[in-house]
Every structure is written in C-alpha cells, then in structure tokens.
C-alpha cells in the first residue's frame, strides 16, 4: 500500500473521531485544551491499536483467504464505509441532543475512543490480507487521527454545526473508494 493510499485510509478512519471531537466541543462548552488533547490522544491510540488487533486476527486466517484477499478487503471497506454513510445520514435526519451531563468524563472519553475505532479493527483484517507493515500503518493511522481530532476540536468551537455529520459521510465514501481501488488493482493484475 503506497503512502498516499495509507493517508487517505487513515483520513477516512479518523472521520468518526473527527466528528465526535466537533460534537464534544459544541456540547461540552467548558472543555479545556488539556481535555481536547487527552481526547485526541485517546482517539489516536485506539485507532492505532484496533487495526493492529485486526491485522493479527487476519494473519491467523491468511492461508484461508489468500486467493480472495482483494475481495475481503473490498467487502470489509465497502461495508464499513457504507455503514458510516448510513449512520451519518440517519443522524442528520434525527439529530441527538447533547448529553444532559455537561462534564466530559474520562469514562465518556474512553467509550468514545473505543466506539469510533471499531471500524479500524475490521480494516486491520484488510491490511493483513494486503500484507501491509502494520507497525508503520498503525502508527500513521494513530497520528493522522490525533491531528484530525485536534483540528476537530478547533473547528467545533468555530463552525461545528456546519461540519458535523458531513465529515462522517466523507469518511465512509473514502473507505468505499479505497476498497474499490484495491479490488480494481488486483483484478487488473
């Protein structure tokens, strides 16, 4: 996987966390910079750990899927991306309210970090099928997510209501596009 594709993949994966960062900054108006950095760091760490777990799970089954690895990558990325788009559209039609509890707690931060990184677990299986260097890829994904979340907190203070779920739709479409790219490249070999 080339660096540009990895960057676009990392960007797509980080869009859930980016949107949550925007939402947090809008809902928790007393959120301090230290909390924004801590949340961004936790999102980044989980976005890096989850594909690593998925990668090793995928490697365990690599012998079974090696002949169809490009199809596995495509289907997983298309399902994840399609689900992101579907959830974002549903949320736009029926938006959730900000939580009644106005304090952003450590427990809430960890729950959000895990929830936004579940997609990365399945992407890790795809990365195993493509035989990617997982240490470099996971570190890169974590770094991109961290930066995107910091930007999300900043933008949430300025333009939160304009961006919101549109970022998740974009992220889903990016993942679908990467899945198509992988499939087309392997079928044309």
Give tens-digit pLDDT for 62-101.
Answer: 667 666 767 877 887 788 778 878 877 887 787 666 665 6
Question: Is 152:18 a contact under the CB 8 Å cutoff?
Answer: yes
DSSP string, 23-64: HHHHH-TT--HHHHHHHHHHHHHHHHHHHHHHHHHHHHTHHH
- CATH at 117: 1.20.1250
Count of domains forming the chain: 1
What's the pTM value of the predicted model, to 2 decimals? Answer: 0.77
Give tens-digit pLDDT for 108-144.
Answer: 899 889 888 888 888 898 898 788 999 999 999 999 9
Which residues, in sequence order, are CB contacts of 74 under 8 Å at separation 6+?
179, 180, 182, 183
- Residue 134 domain boundaries: 3-94+103-187
């Amino acid at each position: 996987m080339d660096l540009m594709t990895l960057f676009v993949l990392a960007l797509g994966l980080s869009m859930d966390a980016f949107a949550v960062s925007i939402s947090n900054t809008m809902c928790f108006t007393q959120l301090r910079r230290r909390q924004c950095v801590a949340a961004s760091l936790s999102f980044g760490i989980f976005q890096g750990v989850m594909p690593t777990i998925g990668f090793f799970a995928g490697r365990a089954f690599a012998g079974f899927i090696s002949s169809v690895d490009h199809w596995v990558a495509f289907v997983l990325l298309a399902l994840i991306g399609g689900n992101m788009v579907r959830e974002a559209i549903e949320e736009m039609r029926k938006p959730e309210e900000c939580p009644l509890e106005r304090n952003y707690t450590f427990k809430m931060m960890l729950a959000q970090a895990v929830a936004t990184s579940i997609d990365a677990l399945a992407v890790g299986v795809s990365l195993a099928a493509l035989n990617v260097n997982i240490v470099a890829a996971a570190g890169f994904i974590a770094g991109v997510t961290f930066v995107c979340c910091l930007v999300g907190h900043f933008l949430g203070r300025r333009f939160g209501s304009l961006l919101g779920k549109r970022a998740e739709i974009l992220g889903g479409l990016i993942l679908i596009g990467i899945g198509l790219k992988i499939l087309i490249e392997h079928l044309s070999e």
